[in-house]
Amino acid sequence: MRSTTVLGDVMRIGRLAVGIAIALLAVACGGRKEAPVERVETLSGVRIQALQMQNVPDEIEAPGTVIAVATAQVAARTMGTVLQVAIREGDHVSRGQLLALLDERELAAHSRSAEAAEEVSNAGVAQATKALAAAQAQADVAKKTYDRYIYLKEQHACDGGWARAHAG
């Protein structure tokens, strides 16, 4: 039994030796690659200047024209005299901000006139409603009278009996 153990050990050592030999061969054959040569670009007409400290102003003035990204047309919903303008050209404004104050007197006069016209028309409606009720009542009386005459005619109550009684 001992001979099989020795033989197994020899086989293991042989395999290990072959593995190490293959690894050494792979490392030895790898070789080093040389770095690629970089091409240096040369520029003509470039001036090199040494760096130096100096003060730079915070603001720079330059002439030019500014064009707004967004513009808006503003129009009042009603006509009137402008009493006060609350902003200037170039001011930032937001939705709902007061831009100008209009004189309310003319608008208030138009409002009072419209309210008076509404009252007059409401009074006319009330009068027309009363006139309609009266005309309906007269139509009802006329219909009842007509129906009564038709009934009497069908009953022969009016076929000249009065004329015979008074005829001499």
- Tokens 């409603």 correspond to 129
Decide: 102 and 81 in contact? Cβ < 8 Å. yes
The percent of residues above 90 in pLDDT, for the chain, comes to 24
Mean pLDDT across 31-53: 75
Q: What is the pLDDT of residue 29?
A: 64
- The larger pLDDT score, comparing residue 122 to residue 73, is at 122
* Residue at token pair 């005459």: 149
pLDDT-derived band at 27 (thresholds 50, 70, 90) equals low
Q: For residues 28 and 33, what is the distance between their CA atoms, to the nearest angstrom?
A: 13
The closest of 128, 147, 149, 129 to 139, measured between CA atoms, is 147
**DSSP class of residue 144?**
H
Q: Which residue reads 């001992």 in tokens?
A: 2
Residue 80 and residue 75: Cα distance in Å, rounded? 12
pLDDT digits (tens, 9 = 90+) for 79-120: 888 889 998 888 888 888 888 888 888 888 889 999 999 999
For residue 115, what pLDDT is reported?
94
Mean pLDDT of 130-152: 94
Q: How far apart are CA 87 and CA 90, in angstroms?
A: 9
For residues 100 and 84, the answer to whether their CB atoms sit within 8 Å is yes
Whether residue 78 contacts residue 107, with contact meaning beta carbons closer than 8 Å, is answered with yes
**0.85 exceeded by pTM:** no
Distance CA 27, CA 6 (A): 32
- Provide the terminal-to-terminal Cα distance of the chain, rounded to the nearest Å: 176
